[in-house]
Amino acid sequence: MRKISNQELGRPSAEAFAAMEKCPVTVVLDDVRSGNNTGSFFRTGDAFAIERLCLCGITGTPPDREIHKTALGAETTVEWTYFRDAADAVNELKAQGYTILAVEQVEGAVMLDDWRYKPEKRYALVFGNEVNGVRQQVVDLCDGAIEIPQRGTKHSLNVSVSGGVVLWEVFRQWRASKAAQ
């Protein structure tokens, strides 16, 4: 087997990326303190062509050296907005018709492998602080929650790893629904 070169991958230009159809999901980061984690969300958001990131509270914003270190330039291709508080972002997204889902371990959460994408909906996924998760005030505003099934002793993943797992599943199901049309 031969490794594929960057030129052979057919990557879109930044302009083509901006114009392409996006996976109908927005990510809300509720007080994510690490610029590296925020940068990872930019890079993952670019990979799965999400609509945008809502950076909230203490979450850093570009331009930022730490964000750039892991985003590798995706902070210039993925649309983003800053909100003083994640609750403000959630309320605005609700008003725009989004279904808001916390990615959190809460009562009544749907396990990710049981969650089903609905093509008629637009989703906003809320990811929380590295230590405290999504604040209860924000969870209370959500329409539901998704939990990643886990078996280990920690029952937690790094927030950007959680982002990769959940966004891959949303993208996978969205792509399958597009193919079925």
pTM of the entire structure?
0.96
Measure the CA–CA gap between 55 and 63, rounded to whole angstroms: 13
Residue 42, pLDDT score: 98
Q: What is the pLDDT of residues 122-180, one digit of tens each?
A: 999 999 999 999 999 999 999 999 999 999 998 899 999 999 999 999 999 999 999 98
What's the token pair of residue 135? 């604040």
Whether residue 6 has pLDDT greater than 90: no
Measure the CA–CA gap between 91 and 105, rounded to whole angstroms: 21
**Domain definitions of the chain by residue range:** 20-180
Fold classified for 20-180: Alpha/beta knot (3.40.1280)
Residue 155, pLDDT score: 86
First to last CA, the chain: 33
pLDDT interval class at 181 (50, 70, 90): confident
Q: What is the pLDDT of residues 85-130, one digit of tens each?
A: 999 999 999 999 999 999 999 999 999 999 999 999 999 999 999 9
